[in-house]
Amino acid sequence: MPSRVFFSRITCVRMNRFARVYRLAGALEPLLEAADAAAFEAAWRAQDLPSLAWDALARARRSGAPALEPALTQVDGRLLALLKRARAFADPHIGTFCVPELERWQHATAVALAGARWGAVGLHAVVADTAAPLGRRYFAFLALAERHPPEAWPLFERYLTAAGAHHAFVAAAVDAARYYAGHADALIELFERVRADQLRRRFFGPRILASLYVLADPASLAFLEELLVAGHTDPDIDRCEVTRALVAVRKLTGRVAPNVKFGDADSEAVRAVLDRAARRFDAQRHRIVPVTVI
Residues 168 and 109 in one domain: no
Domain end among 116, 135, 166: 116
Which range in 18-22, 32-36, 209-213 is most confidently predicted, on average pLDDT?
209-213
N-term to C-term CA, the chain? 51
Whether 17 shows a pLDDT value over 80: the answer reads: no
Question: 47: which residues sit within 8 A by CB, 6+ positions away?
Answer: 27, 30
Residue 20: how many other CB atoms lie within 10 Å: 19
Question: 148: which residues sit within 8 A by CB, 6+ positions away?
Answer: 176, 179, 180
Cα separation values, 293 from 124, 137, 139, 258, 276, Å: 19, 10, 9, 40, 33
Residues 108 and 166 in one domain: no
Residues 187 and 75 in one domain: no
pLDDT at 16: 61
106 vs 71: CA distance, rounded Å: 13
Contact present, 86 and 94 (Cβ < 8 Å): yes
pLDDT at 162: 92
Domain end among 116, 135, 170: 116
13-27, 121-135, 163-177, 260-274: lowest mean pLDDT where? 13-27
Residue 146 lies in a domain: no
Residue 294 lies in a domain: no
Residue 197 lies in a domain: yes
pLDDT at 19: 87
276 vs 282: CA distance, rounded Å: 10
Residue 129 lies in a domain: no
Residue 79 lies in a domain: yes
Residues 171 and 222 in one domain: yes
Please state the pTM of the whole predicted model.
0.90
Residues 72 and 172 in one domain: no
Residues 177 and 273 in one domain: yes
Residues 157 and 279 in one domain: yes
Mean pLDDT of 239-268: 93
Q: How far does Cα 124 stand from its chain's mean position?
A: 17
Mean pLDDT of 52-70: 93
Residues 18 and 99 in one domain: yes
Residues 107 and 216 in one domain: no
Residues 95 and 187 in one domain: no
**Domain containing residue 265:** 151-283
pLDDT band at 264 (very low <50, low <70, confident <90, very high): confident
Residue 128 lies in a domain: no
Residue 264 lies in a domain: yes
Residue 220 lies in a domain: yes
Whether 54 shows a pLDDT value over 70: the answer reads: yes
Total of domains in the chain: 2
Whether 13 shows a pLDDT value over 70: the answer reads: no
pLDDT at 194: 96
pLDDT in tens, 207-229: 999 999 999 999 999 999 999 99
Mean pLDDT of 126-151: 96
Residues 185 and 90 in one domain: no
Domain end among 116, 135, 164: 116
| Backbone dihedral region for residue 258 (phi beyond 0: left; psi -120 to 50: alpha; all else: beta) | beta
Residues 77 and 6 in one domain: yes
pLDDT band at 266 (very low <50, low <70, confident <90, very high): confident
